[in-house]
Amino acid sequence: MSFMKSSASALAILALSATAGAARDQVQITGSSTVLPYSTIVAEAFGENFDFPSPVVEGGGSGAGRKKFCEGVGENTVDIANSSSRISKSDIELCTTNGVTEIMEVRFGYDGIVFASDVNGPEFAFTPAHIYGALGAQVAKDGALVANAAAAWNEVDAALPAQPILAFIPGTKHGTREVFDTKVIIAGCKETGAHDLFLAVAEGKDDKEKAGNADKACMELRTDGKSVDIDGDYTETLARIDADKTAIGVFGLSFYQNNTDKLRVATMNGVVPSAETIAAAEYPVSRPLYFYVKKAHIGVIPGLKEYVTFFLSDEIAGPDGPLAAYGLVSDPELAATQAMVEAETPMGPLE
Amino acid sequence: MTDATAGGLAAPAFSTPKSSLLSQTALVRRRNAAETRFKAYGIAAIVLSLATLGFMLFTILTDGVSAFFQAKLSFPVELTAETLDPQGNRNRDEMAKVTTLGYNKVLAAAFAKEMTARGIAIDGQSDKDVTDMISKDAAGDLRAAVLANPQMVGTTIDATVLATGRIDGYLKGRVTMETAERDANVTPEQLQLADLLREAGILKSSFNWDFITSPDASDQRPEAAGLGVAILGSAYMMLLVLITCVPVGVAASIYLEEFAPKNVWTDAIEVNISNLAAVPSIVFGILGLAIFINFAGMPNSSSLVGALVLSLMTLPTIIIATRASIRAVPPSIRDAALGIGASKMQTVFHHVLPLAMPGILTGTILGLASALGETAPLLLIGMVAFVDNYPGSPPDGFLDPATALPVQVFGWAQRADPAFIERSSGAIIILLIFLVAMNVLAVLLRRRFERRW
CA distance B326 to chain A (A): 18
Which of B388, B403, B417, B425 should be substituted to probe chain A, the one whose Cβ sees the most A Cβ atoms within 10 Å? B388
**Interface contact A86, partner B, CB < 8 A:** no
- pLDDT score recorded for residue B372: 92
Rounded to the nearest 5 degrees, what angle is found at the Cα of A54, between the Cα atoms of A53 and A59? Answer: 145
Collect all residues of chain B within an 8 Å Cβ-Cβ radius of residue A79.
none
With DSSP H G I counted as helix, E B as strand and the rest as coil, what are the percentages for chain B, rounded to 5?
65, 5, 30
Average pLDDT (A1-14) is: 52
Measured over the CA atoms of residue A160, residue A165, residue A170 and residue A171, the dihedral's sign is positive
CA distances from B140 to A148, B101, B147 (A): 55, 9, 11
- pLDDT score recorded for residue B147: 86
**Interface contact A298, partner B, CB < 8 A:** no
- pLDDT score recorded for residue B298: 84
Q: A56–B382: do the CB atoms touch at under 8 Å? A: yes
Collect all residues of chain B within an 8 Å Cβ-Cβ radius of residue A10.
244, 248
- What is the separation, in whole angstroms, between the first and last Cα of chain B? 39
CA distances from B234 to A5, B229, B302 (A): 28, 8, 11
Collect all residues of chain B within an 8 Å Cβ-Cβ radius of residue A33.
414
Q: B413–A39: do the CB atoms touch at under 8 Å? A: no
Spell out the residues 6+ positions from residue B287 whose beta carbon is closer than 8 angstroms to its own: B309, B312
Query: At A351, is the pLDDT very low, low, confident or very high (cuts 50, 70, 90)?
Result: low
Collect all residues of chain A within an 8 Å Cβ-Cβ radius of residue B101.
315
Q: B386–A39: do the CB atoms touch at under 8 Å? A: yes
Question: How many CB atoms sit inside 10 A of residue A113's CB?
Answer: 26
**Interface contact B299, partner A, CB < 8 A:** yes
Query: At B60, is the pLDDT very low, low, confident or very high (cuts 50, 70, 90)?
Result: very high
- pLDDT score recorded for residue B15: 57
Collect all residues of chain B within an 8 Å Cβ-Cβ radius of residue A39.
386
pLDDT digits 0-9 by tens, A87-138: 888 889 999 999 888 899 999 999 889 999 998 888 899 999 899 988 988 8
A287 has pLDDT over 90: no
A278 has pLDDT over 50: yes
Collect all residues of chain B within an 8 Å Cβ-Cβ radius of residue A30.
382
- pLDDT score recorded for residue A20: 43
Higher pLDDT, A202 or B65: B65
pLDDT digits 0-9 by tens, B407-441: 999 989 888 888 898 999 999 999 999 999 999 98
CA-nearest residue of chain A to B416?
Answer: A255
B 378-397 near A (Cβ less than 8 A): 379, 382, 384-389, 396
Average pLDDT (A224-234) is: 85
- pLDDT score recorded for residue A207: 80
A1 has pLDDT over 50: no
pLDDT digits 0-9 by tens, A156-209: 888 888 889 999 998 876 778 888 888 899 988 888 888 888 888 887 778 888
Q: A233–B414: do the CB atoms touch at under 8 Å? A: yes
- pLDDT score recorded for residue B256: 92
Q: Where in chain B is the domain with CATH 1.10.3720.10?
A: 228-449
- pLDDT score recorded for residue A19: 47
Closest C-alpha among B254, B242, B267, B261 to residue B324: B254
> Which stretch of DSSP H or E encloses residue B72?
strand B69-78
d(CA B384, CA B402) in angstroms, rounded, equals 9
**Strand B69-78 versus strand B156-162 pairing type:** antiparallel
For B298, the closest of A18, A33, A60 (CB atoms) is A18
CA-nearest residue of chain A to B291?
Answer: A15
CA distance B138 to chain A (A): 11
**Interface contact B417, partner A, CB < 8 A:** yes
For B99, the closest of A44, A49, A322 (CB atoms) is A49
**Interface contact B251, partner A, CB < 8 A:** yes
Q: Mean pLDDT across chain B, nearest whole number?
A: 87
Closest C-alpha among B229, B234, B235, B232 to residue B217: B229
**Do the Cβ atoms of B217 and B224 come closer than 8 Å?**
yes
CA-nearest residue of chain B to A236?
Answer: B414
**What ipTM score was computed for the predicted complex, to two decimals?**
0.82
What domains lie within chain A, and their CATH numbers? 22-110+288-343 (3.40.190.10), 122-244 (3.40.190)
Collect all residues of chain B within an 8 Å Cβ-Cβ radius of residue A43.
218, 386, 388
Does a cis peptide bond (omega within 30 degrees of 0) precede residue B406?
A: no
Q: B180–A261: do the CB atoms touch at under 8 Å? A: yes
Query: At B32, is the pLDDT very low, low, confident or very high (cuts 50, 70, 90)?
Result: very high
Collect all residues of chain A within an 8 Å Cβ-Cβ radius of residue B255.
2-3
Query: At B16, is the pLDDT very low, low, confident or very high (cuts 50, 70, 90)?
Result: low
- pLDDT score recorded for residue B93: 81
CA distance A189 to chain B (A): 31
B193 has pLDDT over 70: yes
pLDDT digits 0-9 by tens, A41-50: 999 999 988 8
Collect all residues of chain A within an 8 Å Cβ-Cβ radius of residue B416.
37, 234-235, 254-255, 258-259
B19 has pLDDT over 80: no
B 63-82 near A (Cβ less than 8 A): none
Average pLDDT (A21-27) is: 71
- pLDDT score recorded for residue A13: 53
Any idea of the CA torsion for A57, A58, A64, A67, to the nearest 10 degrees?
A: -40
**Interface contact A41, partner B, CB < 8 A:** yes
**Interface contact B293, partner A, CB < 8 A:** yes
CA distances from B156 to B119, B123, B137 (A): 20, 30, 20
Collect all residues of chain B within an 8 Å Cβ-Cβ radius of residue A2.
255
CATH superfamily of B228-449: MetI-like (1.10.3720.10)
Q: B382–A45: do the CB atoms touch at under 8 Å? A: no
Share of chain A above pLDDT 90, in %: 21
User: What distance lies between CA A90 and its chain's CA centroid?
Assistant: 18
CA distance A304 to chain B (A): 16
This model's pTM is above 0.80: yes
- pLDDT score recorded for residue A7: 53
Average pLDDT (B110-122) is: 86
Closest C-alpha among A229, A271, A276, A270 to residue A250: A229
Query: At B6, is the pLDDT very low, low, confident or very high (cuts 50, 70, 90)?
Result: very low
**Interface contact B298, partner A, CB < 8 A:** yes
Q: Mean pLDDT across chain A, nearest whole number?
A: 85
- pLDDT score recorded for residue B87: 78
pLDDT digits 0-9 by tens, B256-312: 999 988 889 989 998 999 898 888 888 998 888 888 888 888 888 889 999 999 999
Average pLDDT (A237-243) is: 90
